[in-house]
Structures are given as structure tokens and as C-alpha cells.
Amino acid sequence: MPDTLDIVIIGGGPAGYVAAIRAAQLGMSAAVVERDALGGTCLNWGCIPTKALLKNAELYHTLKHDADKFGLAFDNLQFDWSKTVGRSRDVAGSLSKGVGFLMKKNKVKTYAGHAYIPAAGQVQVFAPDDVDRKGKPTAEISAKHIVIATGAEARALPGTPFDHDKVINAKDAMTLPQRPDKLLIVGSGAIGMEFAYVYNAYGTEVTVVEMLDRVLPVEDKDSSDAVLKAFKKQGVNVLLKHLTTDIKVSKKGVKATVAPLDSNGNPIKDDAKTIEADKVLVAIGVQGRYDGLFDDALGIELFKHHIKVDYKAENASYQTSVPGIYAVGDVIGPPWLAHLASEEAVLCVERIAGHHAPDIQYDAIPGCTYCQPQIASIGLTERACKEQGLEYSAAKFPFQASGKAQALGDTTGFIKVIAGKPHGEILGVHMVGEGVTELIAEASLAMRTELTADELIATIHPHPTLSEATHEAVLGTEGKMIHF
């Protein structure tokens, strides 16, 4: 007989386990089916372990290049790559166990295995690697509500599948047994730039290839320009407006053909060059992960390699095209962010339970990239403001003028605020520099609560802190900046 529950969540990542906990808090009997490890990609192979690697890299880079600035001197600085990777894995493992504890604390039942939905209200669980369901189900679950929270997976370059040896994805990149001498990275989004920073810091010759005209293309141009300047100073090779047209793999490594693009976006083959590397990290984006989850006959509608739901509609239920089956998180499309996935999960479950909850403000979702310098942003870029014909005032306060940044010994970057006219509403905030991934929360609160520039100006910021740069930038939108 199948287990009978109120709700079953497929996927134990930041959307899945959060949905299960909230459902349990609301009095539902809940279960999670996870075929890898609780915590999902974010906790085990993404957000958390990469930040551990980045911290290691930042510390090593500081000791190697800036020790004298802090009055430090030593001989024979070395690193142990296996311990670097090991610390990252230990952090992920500890937190995954913590999610398991939360499941028990909230009386959420967990199933280890691959989930399959044969019909609405039914879930079968197979062995974790039995995606094709060749064996018999290890469990069957009956539930009125099914929430799909299976996340996303890396997209491969056309014609060049991942072999997880020479052609790798982010998961491979964080557990390489040996540091490569040369690494080619295709794509300069958050994943590409974070790994470029890590490996460059440890002495790998890194080349980043980006087909658009700037790195971190979703960011404001000022942010992209500042990061590019910093990365070039650190020794990272960056090729903008270049397309990787071919990759040949051998036992020794890879040979990639890279061609510049003309004004129409077409590769100029006569100017193509060959780049040799030990490995190529493909970081061109992700797509929804739902392999083997359901048959086409079930009728779940898809859209651009994601599951289609009404997630940006007013009073969105996150229901798929099949009643009683919902989807949240990366599997439903961009922006692919763990913090957004968790919020969607909570909202979905609360609406299933019949609770009133405010819609997510999708035009005010903060995004962060954790290389050095860090990048954080929310809301509109200047380019978007111009395209929408908005009247605005923008001001940028450099960390070079910040007393706290000077004291920390890192004055790279700035905080930029875009305020609307004539009311001073905050349209966008863009940050580059030390600690900005923590500072962006103030901007998130300001946009969510519709604070104006005047109200932020009237908010006293403590001295000396990096947050004063936000205050100064907001002052600048009204021509009142004091310290620059």
C-alpha cells in the first residue's frame, strides 16, 4: 500500500527542503524525495562549497600579494590543494547533515531515490541511479499535492558533451583532484567568474571567453567594467566578443578554436585562434532538471527547457498545467537563485494551505557574485532605465573615498544608486567591492518597502562602516554627496 501524505516534495535543495519544513509548520504531513544528498546542488555542489573555495583563494591571494602591506613577512608560502578541496567538502557535508536534522525535527519523511510521477497525486520512488525505472519501485506515495523542486543542471556546449574529465562543469571544477596548469572557461557569468578567481589565485593560467561585449552581462555596465579591470590586474586573460566554435579533446587536454565576432554577431573565421588548456570549464548557463521525472503523456507543459508555471502572475499558485502538481525554484526558469527558490517554495506551500501571502517582487531580486572584488545588485541597470524611458538620477560613491575600506586595505569598487525622478524611488543599486554581498540587503529592504532616497538619507549609518558608502551614493542622487 502506498504511503498517504498531504504533500510530497521532489528535490531536497533550498526550494524542496524549505517547502517541506513550511508545510509541516502548517500542519501538513510532508515528505521529501531526494536522489543525491539533502541540501541539493546549492548546499552540496554550488552556493556553499564554492564560497569555501573562494575564501581559501582570497586568503592565499592576500598572503601572497599583499602580506607586506599588512606588515607580515614569511618564507616559502605553500598551499595543499587536497586540503583546500577537503575543507570545502567538509563544510558541505556538515550542512547537509544539518538539513537531515531539520527534517527529523519537523517530522518530515525523507525518501532516498529517484522520483517518478505516473499520475497526479502519485509518486513512485526508485533507486537513486534508476532514472529509466528498470527496477521496481522502492516506495510509492499518494499525496493530494506534489511540488517539483528538482533544480537545474549545467548546459553543455553544442557538440561538446561533458566528459567530466577534460570538459567539465561547475560540480567537476570544485572537486578536481589536481589543480590544472591551464584552464579555459567558456562564459563569464557568476559561475565562470567565481572559478576564474579561485584558480587564478592558486596560479592556474586562466582564460575566460565571453561572446558578449562585457563580463557579467546581466550587471550594470559600470560593474562589468570594474570587474574586468580588476581581473586583468590579477592576471586573468579575458576575450570579449569571442565565440568558442570548436573543442577538440585529447588525453593531454583540450584545444579550443575561438573566433572574434563581427558587428552582426557572426564569427570571423579568418581571425580565429587556438587556445590549449588542460581542461575547459563550460559555464554558459543552466536548464531545468527533470530527467526521468514524468512521461510526456502526463501533460506537464514545458518552456525553454524548464517547467512552465504562472510564477510571475498576480496571486501565482506555481501550479503546472496539471492540477495538483506544482513547481518552484530553478526548474521553472530564471533568475536561478537559491534565495528566490526558497521564497517561491514558502509562497507555494502557503497558498496550497489557503493562506494569504504577498506576491514575490520579481523586479527586485538581489543577485551576488562572490569572487574578489564581489559584485551585488538589485533592480534596474542604467541601460534598462534608458530603454524604458525612465527619468532618473544616478550617483556612484567609490570605496577609495571610504575610511573603512582604506582601513581594510581594499578600496576596489563602488556603490551606485539609481533613483527615479521626481519622487526619488530606488530603481536599482549596483555594488562592486569588499563585502558588498552583505551590504545589498539594505537595498533589498528599501526596494521592497518602497523607500525613497530622502528616507534612506535620513537613515543614520554607523561610522566607520562600508555601509556608509550606500548612504553617500544615495546622497549623490540628490547632489548632496559629502565625502567625494
pLDDT value at residue 2: 82
Edge-to-edge strand list for the sheet holding 182-186: 167-168, 279-282, 182-186, 205-210, 237-240
Cβ neighbours of 91 (radius 10 Å): 17
Residues whose CB falls within 8 Å of the CB of residue 122, separated by 6 or more in sequence, listed in order: 2, 140, 141, 142, 143
Find the mean pLDDT for residues 373-397.
98
Residues whose CB falls within 8 Å of the CB of residue 11, separated by 6 or more in sequence, listed in order: 32, 33, 34, 40, 148, 149, 150, 151, 329, 331
Q: Distance between CA 292 and CA 42 in Å, rounded?
A: 21
Find the mean pLDDT for residues 362-385.
97
Q: Which of 306, 463, 471, 483 is catalytic?
A: 463
pLDDT value at residue 149: 98
How far from 126 is each of 16, 129, 150, CA to CA, in Å?
18, 8, 15
Q: Distance between CA 103 and CA 97 in Å, rounded?
A: 10
Residues whose CB falls within 8 Å of the CB of residue 75, separated by 6 or more in sequence, listed in order: none
Instruction: Please say whether the beta carbons of 352 and 145 come within 8 A.
Output: yes
Q: Does residue 479 have a pLDDT over 80?
A: yes
Q: Report the C-alpha dihedral over residues 97, 102, 103, 107, rounded to 10 degrees.
A: 140
Strands 30-34 and 3-10: parallel
Q: How many residues does the chain have?
A: 484
Q: Does residue 1 have a pLDDT over 80?
A: no
Find the mean pLDDT for residues 348-374.
96
Whether 145 is a known active-site residue: answer no
Instruction: Tell me what the pLDDT averaged over the chain comes to.
Output: 97
pLDDT value at residue 206: 98
Residue 469 pLDDT grade (very low, low, confident, very high; cuts 50, 70, 90): very high
Find the mean pLDDT for residues 360-386.
97
Q: What angle do CA 226, 381, 242 make, to 5 degrees?
A: 55
Q: Which three cell numbers stand for residue 346?
A: 514558502
Q: pLDDT tens across 224-270, in order?
A: 999 999 999 999 999 999 999 999 999 999 999 999 999 999 999 99
How far from 57 is each of 16, 63, 172, 371, CA to CA, in Å?
31, 10, 17, 9
